[in-house]
Amino acid sequence: MATPAITTILDEIAARLGNITTKNEYNYTIKKIERAKLEPFKGYDLPAINYWTTSLSNERGVYNDDNRNLELFIEAHSLTRDKPFIDIVDMLAADIITALNRTTTAPKVSDDPNYDLNETVSDLIFKGYDYQIGQGEKPWCGVLIRFTIAYQTDPNNMTTYAA
């Protein structure tokens, strides 16, 4: 059976998140990226990213295409340092949002943007983010970023997309 369209989209997201390194002009180098991880990251994993989807909606278009919206959440954690946790979170968010808009072949912050995940989606809509802070021996901070991914496909087809 063919790969579901959502899996193809999420694979592209993972590849782009994997480009977050200081070598590529980002604020941080992400050590670990997981899809739909249920257990918390360990301190040595940080900074780390976990991403997942929560719902898929569908509307039939006038030209008999299915217009889909996929809700995406990206959570990133890092240890707090000498900077205020909100500054660290803002830098993590900037890295993630920028990386999602760069191709794997041109991943640097200074490279030209690519807004459609290599034509797998018609739109990647940034909806905002929330700050997170944890306590303990090694306090951590994090960000939960929300996106809507819009894409089109033939009616009732779960394995293809047409940006």
- Residue extents of the structural domains in the chain: 5-71+82-153
Superfamily of domain 5-71+82-153: Phage tail protein-like (3.30.2000.10)
Question: CB neighbours of 39 closer than 8 A, spacing ≥ 6?
Answer: none
**C-alpha span between 71 and 61 (Å, rounded):** 19
pLDDT in tens, 69-126: 999 999 999 988 788 999 999 999 999 999 999 999 999 999 999 999 988 899 999 9
How does residue 50 score in pLDDT terms, banded at 50, 70 and 90?
Answer: very high
Within its chain, how far is the Cα of 55 from the centroid?
15
